[in-house]
Amino acid sequence: MLRRGLSIALLVTLLDQASKWWIVNDLFRPAGITQTPFFTLKTVTLAPFFDLVMAWNRGVSFGMFNGAEGGRWNAIVFSLFALVVVAALMVWMHRTRSTWTATALGLVAGGAVGNVIDRLRFGAVADFLDFHVGTWHWPAFNLADSAITIGAILLVAESLFRHSDSSKT
């Protein structure tokens, strides 16, 4: 199961970083324009409820603590915490016998690593998926955040619906 989980984590990390590279370096940075990583250039509307935007999250999930003081130290502290969590997930992944658990842990670990790479490169996480209804916007997110969320949902679903092998006497 460890090989399965690590393969999924690697795939998630690669897809996340590829999508962020395209957004940051191609879509939101026209040729010849030098910009800081915290500059929003434009919004690309793809549907009445979905835009691509350039948002930099210096906090944690859904922008919590985004305005917190600490600058580069926040990125380092959040990255170290995420790496400790990833290490714990790897231990869990090594011990599990469940395909679902290994898949879920791979999704969470890969997403966490993708966001750590952003924090170390830019000091913030590149978020670009913006879903909205009218003027109400869900906080912008990225593929790593999606993988973490899906992985967490799979873990909860498996814990709620898996059948125990032990029998009561």
Q: Which residues are catalytic?
A: 127, 145
Cα 114 → chain centroid = 6
Please state, in angstroms and as integers, the Cα–Cα distance from residue 11 to each residue in 2, 6, 25, 95, 153, following that order.
14, 9, 21, 21, 19
- Determine whether 2 is exposed, middle or buried from the number of CB atoms within 10 Å of its CB (0-12, 13-18, 19+): middle
Which residue, 18, 20, 10, 50, is CA-closest to 127?
20
- Concatenate the DSSP letters of all residues of 1-50 into one string: -HHHHHHHHHHHHHHHHHHHHIIIIIITS-TT----TT-----EEEETTE
